[in-house]
Structure 1
Amino acid sequence: MQEKSSTPLQLSDLHLPDVPSWLPLAWGWWASIGAIVVVIIIVLLVVRWKRKRLAPKKTALRLLTPSLGLQTPSSAIELLRQAAFCYYPREQIAHLTGKDWYAFLDDQVGRPLFVPHETQWQQALYQKQSTVDSNVLIEDCYQWINDALPPKKRRSVNVGKH
């Protein structure tokens, strides 16, 4: 029998492959990064657009805050008209006065705020000493700006038509 040698075989050391690196990234990673960047840009643009669109409403509400008590009905309705000009086409509302103006305001809110108080508005707007409670009229302006601006798209409902 042969004798086993106690010396190990003369083998070379193991050569392990290099650790895979992150770069260059595979196309799937680039597509994911691109999609994330596009989504972030879209979100930022939407936020900026909303902020810009709501700026006139927020300014009008801040200026018309009922707790300040510095407004008169004539200045409140003027501020309401200026806020409406920011959202509605000038051709649609510039010519409206009196009953037509109040009807337009009520139509935008969907409930009567101004038409029932038309005589009170006329007294408050054109008399030096107002005999009506001006806080109620100013609160109606505040409520209209808060509810009607920015205008919402309305679907026409055909009642009773098939």
Structure 2
Amino acid sequence: MTSSNTDSLLPLDALALPELPSWFPLAWGWWAAFASVIAVFAAIVFYLRWKRKRLAPKKTALLLIQREKPAAALELVRQAALCYFPREQIAHLTGKEWYEFLDSQVDQPLFSTNSDLWQNLLYSKQPVDNHEELVQHCYQWVEQALPPKKRGA
């Protein structure tokens, strides 16, 4: 009986399976994902380069001010300010106007209170008692005021 059942079966071929899908060409979603990753990476690189370039004058001024005398430190403050503010706005400022501009960029005034001392220091060769304090004021100004922050009206 078993032999008659096996004889009646039709000869069948092996299963014919379709080919597996290949990885290439990739679907558009994968290309969009790759492009997004590359765009984010490029944006981060460009932002970091822009930020480093923008902060370069500030970092240089902070390094140099620590080694200078007050008159030279104040000159470095002016050079650093010229890197960030329009030349037309600050190049013509001298004396009390200059010190008022400096104080307007920080929360606590550093220069107007000592404006007479600064003026004497710039034009005399006499040593100053509070040499370190004046240099510290210049350092503090560069650290707080640069790059300029947008102030609300």
Does the TM-score normalized on the shorter chain lie above 0.5? Answer: yes
Unaligned runs of 5+ residues in structure 1 are 157-162
- What are the equivalent positions in structure 2 for 1:74-113 lying under 5 Å apart? 74-113=71-110
- What are the equivalent positions in structure 2 for 1:129-144 lying under 5 Å apart? 129-144=126-141
Instruction: Supply the distance in 1 between the matched residues of 2:98 and 2:35 (Cα, whole angstroms).
Output: 51
**2:41 corresponds to:** 40
CA contact (8 A) 1:123 1:130 kept: no
Task: Give yes or no for the alignment of 1:151 onto 2:152.
Answer: no
**TM-score, with normalisation over the residues of structure 2?**
0.91
Instruction: Supply the distance in 2 between the matched residues of 1:2 and 1:79 (Cα, whole angstroms).
Output: 106
Q: Which runs of 4+ in 1 moved over 3 A?
A: 1-9
CA contact (8 A) 1:74 1:125 kept: yes
Unaligned runs of 5+ residues in structure 2 are none
Instruction: Supply the distance in 1 between the matched residues of 2:2 and 2:137 (Cα, whole angstroms).
Output: 112
The count of aligned residue pairs is 152
Instruction: Supply the distance in 2 between the matched residues of 1:102 and 1:132 (Cα, whole angstroms).
Output: 20
Which structure shows the higher helix fraction? 2
Quote the offset at 1:6 in angstroms: 4.6
SS at match of 1:4: helix
Quote the offset at 1:47 in angstroms: 1.1
SS at match of 2:4: coil
Q: Which amino acid aligns with 1:92?
A: Q
Instruction: Supply the distance in 1 between the matched residues of 2:2 and 2:52 (Cα, whole angstroms).
Output: 92
Quote the offset at 1:35 in angstroms: 1.8
CA contact (8 A) 1:60 1:83 kept: yes
Quote the offset at 1:63 in angstroms: 1.2
